[in-house]
Amino acid sequence: MIMSAPRSVAVIAATRLPARSANSLQVIRMCEALAETDWRVVLFAPAYTDTPPSAESIRSYYGLQADIEIRLIGWPAITKPDAFWAMACLDAADRAGCRLIFTRHLPSAALAKAHHWPVVYEAHKPAGTAAGQAARGYSLSRAVKAVRIASRLVIGRWRGSHNLASLGRLMSLIRHRGLVSNADFEARLACPAPRCHLIAITQRLADDLVARYPDLPGHISVLADGATRAGHDVTPAVLPGRPRGGRVGYCGHLYTGKGMSLIAELVTRCPTIDFHIVGGEPDDIAAWQAHLGTCENLYFHGHVGPHEVPGYLAAMDIALLPNQARVATAGDVHADIGRYTSPLKMFDYMAAGRAIVASDLAVLREVLIDGHNARLCPPDAPEAWAAMLGALIDAPAERRRLGDQARHDLESHYTWAARARALSCVFDRLSA
């Protein structure tokens, strides 16, 4: 084992890098901010193929300048890959001299705790409803699963030539009851321990976790997502459409619940306003274009790199956050994070100083205040949205006031740097 480097944190992220997903961007921005503190940051992410992307290509895609070590760990093609991959990451973190684990990956967090690592788990949603099963031991199905995994390792069905190490990890998983559900892992993490702390991205998520696990108070904190301070030298993107008309924009994916259905109604209700959609997968864009037909005031710009987003926002008069009560995710279109979401686009809009019109949802009201730093409308009332857009397009001074206040609130409370400083205090306490 390498001697632990002082203030060295392993960030374990089970997300593909580089990727268009918000979770991958959130991981990178947090690593970048943590590296600006005096913590050494080692990022562990999956390698899904035998020829994974280089660390340099990942840095280039995200415009990453900070001194972060990026290490890709092979994703095992075997039953229960998350737990095996988590064990491989913990082994690699040990060899890298890390002294603390920070992750939003439940198996990594729970197994790190079982192996007596100081661990900070960042929750973005509850794991499910089957919590509390961890203490009940293995069922016959768990035992059968362990035997099947062992047999595959013995005959070499796991990609690569590290089966001996994998057998050792299997034995460790069995010993620490590691072949269980995410709900079981969550229940273990929720048991108070002096070197384990939970971070919830919204107060609503924290409240629901505390309701589920009454012993959590004192072991959980709320840290919303954030954004980087916008520079004052951003060059607005050149957008098509009417140069003197109102420009309303949306940045992000088009998954169910993100609000594209509401925007589609606004396009027809507000013919004098141009709508610009930045982001979305090609299939989603094609489906909406086919659904809407020819709309002279709607422009799809497709995916752009993270470094290009500020330019698009600078060219918009109003930024839309039309979340619905139920919101799907990149990894699972049937999932629902609407109750707990802390959208990165909201903070990007604030950093850009745009006037924001957002859905009047409890989770968004944790950051946005109607009439203060945004205007809020019911997510199921397109007529209210249309009226609000029309009023704001005709009121540039009010747009400027809302945008300036949003930027001020971002810079005062929601930068990645401020979030990293708060996390650093937690890291220091746990690793003391």
pLDDT at 185 over 60: yes
Q: 309 and 258 in one domain?
A: yes
**HSE-up (13 A, CA, CB side) for residue 15:** 24
Helix H or strand E encompassing 391:
helix 382-393
* Reported confidence tier of residue 161, pLDDT bands at 50, 70, 90: very low
Which pLDDT belongs to residue 338?
85
Summarised one tens digit per residue, pLDDT across range 368-393 is 999 999 999 999 999 999 999 999 99
Within a domain: 238: no
Which pLDDT belongs to residue 166?
55
What's the Cα-to-Cα distance from 411 to each of 87, 238, 367, 417, rounded to whole Å?
38, 27, 13, 10
Q: 235-244, 300-309, 329-338, 390-399: which range is least confident on average? A: 329-338
Within a domain: 235: no
Q: 255 and 184 in one domain?
A: no
What's the Cα-to-Cα distance from 314 to each of 61, 233, 299, 349, rounded to whole Å?
21, 10, 16, 9
Q: 358 and 219 in one domain?
A: no
Which pLDDT belongs to residue 139?
45
Which pLDDT belongs to residue 164?
45
Which pLDDT belongs to residue 199?
98
Which pLDDT belongs to residue 168?
56
Q: 122 and 46 in one domain?
A: yes
Q: 427 and 378 in one domain?
A: no
Give residue 353's region: left, alpha or beta (phi > 0; psi -120 to 50): left
* Reported confidence tier of residue 33, pLDDT bands at 50, 70, 90: very high
Which pLDDT belongs to residue 160?
47
Which pLDDT belongs to residue 332?
54
Peptide bond into 310 cis (omega under 30): no
Summarised one tens digit per residue, pLDDT across range 191-210 is 999 999 999 999 999 999 99
Q: CA 359, CA 371: separation in Å to the nearest integer? A: 13
Q: 424 and 404 in one domain?
A: no
Read off the tokens for 39.
Answer: 């913590």
Q: CA 28, CA 59: separation in Å to the nearest integer? A: 9
Helix H or strand E encompassing 393:
helix 382-393
* Reported confidence tier of residue 79, pLDDT bands at 50, 70, 90: low
In the block, residue with structure tokens 């973005």: 124
**HSE-up (13 A, CA, CB side) for residue 26:** 25
Average pLDDT over residues 118-133: 76
Within a domain: 204: yes
Within a domain: 232: no
pLDDT above 90 covers a percentage of the chain that reads 74
Which phi and psi (to 5°) does residue 383 adopt? -65, -35
Q: 343 and 385 in one domain?
A: yes
Q: What is the dihedral of CA 53, 55, 60, 62, to 10 degrees?
A: 90
- Per DSSP, helices labelled H in 155-239 are 163-175, 182-189, 203-212
pLDDT at 73 over 70: yes
Within a domain: 239: no
Within a domain: 210: yes
Q: 83 and 17 in one domain?
A: yes
Q: CA 319, CA 343: separation in Å to the nearest integer? A: 13
CATH number of the domain within which 374 lies:
3.40.50.2000
pLDDT at 240 over 50: yes
The residue among 179, 174, 177, 176 whose CA lies nearest residue 78 is 179
Q: 170 and 310 in one domain?
A: no
Q: 199 and 347 in one domain?
A: no
Number of structural domains found in the chain: 2
Which pLDDT belongs to residue 100?
98
- Mean residue pLDDT of the chain comes to 88
Q: 344 and 214 in one domain?
A: no
Peptide bond into 18 cis (omega under 30): yes
Q: CA 241, CA 356: separation in Å to the nearest integer? A: 21
- CA atoms 336, 207, 114, 109: torsion sign: positive
Average pLDDT over residues 214-239: 93
Within a domain: 268: yes
Q: 269 and 150 in one domain?
A: no
In the block, residue with structure tokens 């995916």: 303
The residue among 315, 216, 305, 309 whose CA lies nearest residue 275 is 315
Q: CA 196, CA 112: separation in Å to the nearest integer? A: 9
pTM strictly above 0.85: yes
pLDDT at 142 over 80: no
Within a domain: 310: yes
Helix and strand counts by DSSP (H, E) for the chain: 15, 13
Residue 307 DSSP class: G
Q: Residue 378: which domain range?
A: 246-413
Which pLDDT belongs to residue 181?
76
Cβ atoms of 316 and 339 closer than 8 Å? no
